[in-house]
Structure formats: structure tokens, C-alpha cells
Amino acid sequence: MRIAKARKSNSNMNTEDREAVRNWWLINRLKYNKGLIIAGFIAFTLYCILGPIIIAPHEEFEVTLIVMVFQGTAYVLMICIANVFYSMGWIIDLSFNKSNNQRFRQRLFALGYWFSVSLPNLLILSVMARFLIWGK
């Protein structure tokens, strides 16, 4: 029922405005994906630097080609899932940005961007914290 109300309230936005909103999100997708790729490299670098220092004293730790391929493949899958959620951005924008406010759109993008970019690094740091606290 809430979604139906949001759709009705947005019916005052014409087709041209709706297409402009969608295009805004499509144009900013490249920036979003660049941020995810950079965050992935930073997270992997943190893993390679901190792993021998924090994990190696507790269990075997090595970065091999197989590990790199596996983690790279897993990260590409994560980027695909993140892009599904990114696509929900313009849907949320159309549903809740009743006045077609650019500031709302930019804040929604920034919230999703920084959340998505911080996740890979927070994951690595949480693994390192676990080894520092519990040793396994």
C-alpha cells in the first residue's frame, strides 16, 4: 500500500523527468563502479600487508595465484550484486523524491556509494580484528 501511494504521489513527474532521473543514475554508475574497484584493490592490499603480521602467527597464511583468482572472482560477483542494489537507487529516487530534488538524489547516491565502498575494507579489518582479539 505504501508503494502504491509513493507511485501515485510521483505521478506528477512527467515521462521526460523520469527519464532524466534514470539517466542521472546511469551516468553516475561509472563513478560508483570505479569506487568499488579502487576499494577492492585497497582491501586486497590491506589483506596482503596485514595478513602476514596478524594472521600468520595463528595459522598458515600465504597469498598464492589460486587465492588471488578466487578472491578476484568473488569480488567481481560482489560488484555485480552491488550493481543490482545500485539500480534500486533510481527506483527509490523516483518513488520518494516527490519534488525531483537534485540534493536528495545526490545524498542518496553518496549514502549508497560510501556504504558500498567501505564494506570491502570493513570486512578485511573485521577479520584482522578477530585474529587480534581471539587469535583465530
The pTM score is 0.82
Average pLDDT estimate for 30-36: 97
Q: Where are the alpha helices (DSSP H) in 1-136?
A: 2-9, 15-50, 65-96, 102-134
pLDDT computed for residue 136 by the predictor = 66
pLDDT computed for residue 1 by the predictor = 45
| CA gap 105, 89 in Å, rounded | 9
- Cell match 527519464: residue? 19
What is the 8-class DSSP label of residue 52?
I
Average pLDDT estimate for 56-69: 90
Average pLDDT estimate for 20-39: 96
Does the pLDDT of residue 7 top 70, yes or no? Answer: no
Average pLDDT estimate for 120-127: 93
| CA gap 68, 57 in Å, rounded | 21
Q: Taking a C-beta distance cutoff of 8 angstroms, is the pair 113, 32 a contact?
A: yes
| pLDDT band for position 14 (cuts 50, 70, 90) | confident
Question: Percentage of residues in the chain with pLDDT exceeding 70?
Answer: 90
Number of compact structural domains in the chain: 1
Average pLDDT estimate for 77-92: 95
What is the extent of the structural domain holding 113? 2-134
